[in-house]
Amino acid sequence: MDILRAAAIAALFGIGVYQLLRRNVIRVVIGLNIISNAVNLFLLSTGAYDGVAEAYASAIGQRSDALPQALILTAIVISMGGFAFTLSMLYVISSRYRTADNDEVKGLTH
């Protein structure tokens, strides 16, 4: 299970970075979103440190560390606001620059 989770984090991170480096602005934001999910999954897995059960423990009597889950909730809320704001900025940019290409958004060059 640990390996699966580590692989999932790695895969999400890889996909996210790949999308982040694409030229399309929408893909960049989606890449960031995927990276944020990788980070959240990583935080979730930190709840299993030092012999405490994992967050998905189901047996009675086991308990998982609740703090990372609170951290994830905060991170999710903050990143949700951030992405909504990024998308609204992209709307302005795409209508002002008439492009969805990151390299074409270059008004501030001097």
Partner 1 sequence: MGDVVIILPFLLPIAGAAVGMLLRRWHRLRAGWSLVVLALACAVTATVFWQVAQSGQARTFQMGGWPSPFGITIVADALSVTMALMSQVVFVFGFVYALGAKDKAVHYETFHPLFLMLAAGLTGGMLTGDIFNLFVMIELVVISGTVLTAISDDRFGTEAAYKYFLISLIASFTLLFGIGSLYVSYGTLNMADLAQRISANPEQPLLPIALILLSITFMIKSAAVPFHFWQPDFHTASPTPVSAMLSSVVVKLGVYGFMRLTTLLAPSATWIKDLLIVTGIVGVIFGGLGALGTHNVKRMFAYSTLAQVGFIYIGVGWGTSLSLAAAVLFTINHAIIKSAMLMLSGYLASRAPVKTASFSVVRGVGRYAPLSGVLFFLGGMALAGLPPSNGFISKWALFWSGVVAATSGAIQDRWTYWLPLGLVGISSVITLVYVFRALMRIWWEPFEPPSPEEKVKPRGDSLLAPAGLVTLCVLLGLLGQPLTDWTQRVSEWMTQPGKYVQAVLQAEETHRRNFSVQP
Strands (E), the chain: none
Q: By CB under 8 A, is residue 71 in contact with partner 1?
A: yes
Burial of 62 by CB count in 10 Å (0-12 exposed, 13-18 middle, 19+ buried)? exposed
Q: By CB under 8 A, is residue 49 in contact with partner 1?
A: yes
Q: For partner 1, which residue of 39, 53, 57, 100 counts as binding (CB under 8 A)? A: 39
Q: Between 64 and 86, name the residue whose CB sits nearer to partner 1.
A: 86
CA dihedral 26, 27, 30, 35 (to 10 degrees): -140
Residue whose token pair is 């086991």: 62
Q: By CB under 8 A, is residue 19 in contact with partner 1?
A: no
Q: By CB under 8 A, is residue 79 in contact with partner 1?
A: yes
Q: By CB under 8 A, is residue 78 in contact with partner 1?
A: yes
Structure tokens at 41: 């999954």
d(CA 49, CA 64): 9
The conformation of residue 101, written as its DSSP 8-state character, comes to B
Judged by the rule CB under 8 A, the positions of this chain that interact with partner 1 are: 20, 28, 32, 35-36, 39, 42-43, 45-46, 49-50, 67-68, 71, 74-75, 78-79, 81-82, 85-86, 89-90, 92-93, 96-97, 105, 107-108, 110
